[in-house]
Structure 1
């Protein structure tokens, strides 16, 4: 099907929250990635928007000046390309008369449409553009519910420092390898990790850029085998996460600490099983966190209802997308107006406690009230292990190694007799892993 027809089809049939004829509505516009390389998280974004619209409308909608309004979202497929996203933002505002925008998926696509919403002075609440550069241009109409990407994996370096003794080292002697996609989000992740490496006095021994197609990490993994870093940090969206876990297993690579972004939306535990065990994963939100609000209930309530609606576990991308709709709804209520400038001012004054976490914007539109959490795949589940206030379990460091993946230095001495090796209950590395587990 030609791209133009796909977009027209989605624009016609992709509206959510359509009210019966005669009802008052507030129309939100959204260009999201339903095809192309971001399609998986584009769908997660759209599902989060849909879920929130239904919840808010089922509660009676939004009352402004004594009139109840229902939310409606008009969707188009940006095909995961900035040029198409820019074109569709113009269409939504200029042709369709949309006065309020929900953001796309990814920092790159958010960056592409920002000049459009600024030019037309249309407020946008976005949930999936985390790069810091979005908030350094003086834009007034962007409001982001998520934490910026430089924060994603910095807790990993802190954990490594805390557990250096279990690795037989001090923090200053730990070595770190990076494999990072060349986009604004991942490069922000890299910057945050490098700053923490320097703060702890560690050493970065590999600083590689992932290939554009994110389908091969073998060059980097060969270096990891040779240099044996203590920590391997990977950021390459969903495809990069799946490629990393698959090739680490296939190439029999072992690192004591493995950390990455986009674990849960890539479903590394569900798709790759034991190979994903003990990977540390950056997450904006998790169902075990103690957040709640009057619309969605607790984080756990949201997770259960989302799974009932869509038949899969809610990734944080869906949760934060739902939160974006919630923030818009609350701003309409406080503004008691549909004037975009008054809604923009109400958004700027947001101080909201939600199932997703606290939301408060600084002058640049960043949410400065919430932090990223770190989970670890344990028994096929994503268990929050940091920060301590939200931890549901303890991090298992170093990763208990699959003996077939152990480098020679960590294996039992080959000269030891077989029976004696059993009596000694395995290598020092495996005993250390059991004691930590």
Structure 2
């Protein structure tokens, strides 16, 4: 997919929608679901990292949330039990700080009197926020935290639209096995594995190690090393990677660390036959920062504009018209996250938190952007959905390379070319 041609093709200028802010003055006691809703307004709140290390991802989520809510408002509002409601959206900035993130979510409930909550971005911030929804019995849907630990704490009002990082690790190892069978990668393959020291990273590590232990004839992990989130110098870590003399390099990293780490990887002159940074690689921020250095990286993603189904193409076109860039999975997932919440409210025919929560637990959304087009939640509140494997190609393009059953799928370029 040629990103630049796509942008030019749909470059009509639209005014970006204004963010509607809720207002209130009285604290809200637990259990008063919808008591502060005006006769024609539903208040939704979100706390996002609009400054700090995760500013790029937080901004993308703000865009996706705003798009979904604007669409409903422009169509005359949300029909709930035969009455039309306009949707107001209050977004607060936590500065990428977990302690502040939790307190601001509670402020949305007690000061802004929101009826429902959309989640933030990053596992650590989601884990801080998720305490609040159950306390106040307010449904909370998030698309920015995929660690399985988020959904092991027994909260009933927390729902997530991101398939787990554990499953991402399993999917990646399955892809490597398929390429071994095709003769594109060696068997066994030696792996240097590095991962951020968070629940997010531990999920990835666990999945890779389980696969390696289950099939030692296919996989050999020769380095297993954690690193701290939001690092600035990964040189010592990369020296360990170099010394491991592995054939594959797997790293679970968030977007800022991916950019920093891979830039230093290239500067160190390292090479592996297979490189994946988990879900990072095709991100436009990363490709702008790394240029051709990001070419041929492989990523397991929740969504990609390379999907050719009508819903994905329409969303990509609308987003590009409004924001003048091609969307990544961040924008698509946040858009779908808001749509899931709005659908649950409509189908519940109620603004009461427990009623909408019960609707979410049974909801089946069949026009999702995600591969397969369906969103439903497991009993723990996390989605079970497929990934797609993509590979960056020169000219800021990307191709789907797995599963092969997808009509858009193309053969991967493996082993990776040396001249990255």
- TM-score normalised by structure 1 residue count: 0.82
The 1-side partners of 2:117 and 2:262 are apart by 36
- TM-score normalised by structure 2 residue count: 0.85
Query: 1:266 deviation in Å?
Result: 5.7
Structure 1 position 151 matched with structure 2 position 167: yes
Structure 1 position 273 matched with structure 2 position 291: yes
The 2-side partners of 1:337 and 1:281 are apart by 40
Partner in structure 2 of residue 206 of structure 1: 223
Query: 1:273 deviation in Å?
Result: 2.1
Aligned-partner SS, 1:272: helix
Partner in structure 2 of residue 341 of structure 1: 354
Query: 1:54 deviation in Å?
Result: 1.1
1:2-401 pair list within 5 angstroms: 14-15=19-20, 24-164=40-180, 166=183, 169-170=186-187, 173-201=188-216, 202-260=219-277, 261-265=279-283, 267-289=285-307, 291=309, 298-353=311-366, 354-356=368-370, 357-368=373-384, 370-379=385-394, 380-390=396-406, 391-401=408-418
Aligned-partner SS, 1:263: coil
Query: 1:244 deviation in Å?
Result: 2.5
* Unaligned segments of structure 2, at least 5 residues: 1-17, 24-37
Query: 1:259 deviation in Å?
Result: 0.3
The 2-side partners of 1:34 and 1:168 are apart by 41
The 2-side partners of 1:291 and 1:136 are apart by 33
In terms of mean alpha carbon deviation, does 255-264 or 148-157 score higher?
A: 148-157
Q: Which has the larger radius of gyration?
A: 1
> Contact 1:269–1:381 (CA<8 Å) still a contact in 2?
no
Higher helix share: 1
Query: 1:17 deviation in Å?
Result: 10
The 2-side partners of 1:188 and 1:104 are apart by 20
Query: 1:102 deviation in Å?
Result: 0.3
Aligned-partner SS, 1:37: coil
Q: 1:113 to 1:212 in 2, by over 3 A?
A: closer
Query: 1:47 deviation in Å?
Result: 0.7
In terms of mean alpha carbon deviation, does 203-212 or 101-110 score higher?
A: 203-212
The 1-side partners of 2:230 and 2:345 are apart by 41
> Contact 1:214–1:236 (CA<8 Å) still a contact in 2?
no
Q: 1:55 to 1:385 in 2, by over 3 A?
A: same
Aligned-partner SS, 1:289: coil
The 1-side partners of 2:402 and 2:64 are apart by 25
Query: 1:167 deviation in Å?
Result: 5.9
Query: 1:40 deviation in Å?
Result: 1.0
Q: Residues 50-72 of structure 1, C-alpha deviation per residue, up to 9 Å, x if partnerless? A: 11111222222211232111211
The 1-side partners of 2:263 and 2:388 are apart by 24
> Contact 2:281–2:392 (CA<8 Å) still a contact in 1?
no
The 1-side partners of 2:339 and 2:345 are apart by 10
The 1-side partners of 2:19 and 2:400 are apart by 35
The 2-side partners of 1:198 and 1:342 are apart by 44
Q: Residues 401-425 of structure 1, C-alpha deviation per residue, up to 9 Å, x if partnerless? A: 12xx8xxxxxxxxxxxxxxxxxxxx
The 2-side partners of 1:230 and 1:150 are apart by 22
CA RMSD of the aligned region, Å?
2.1
* Unaligned segments of structure 1, at least 5 residues: 1-12, 293-297, 406-437
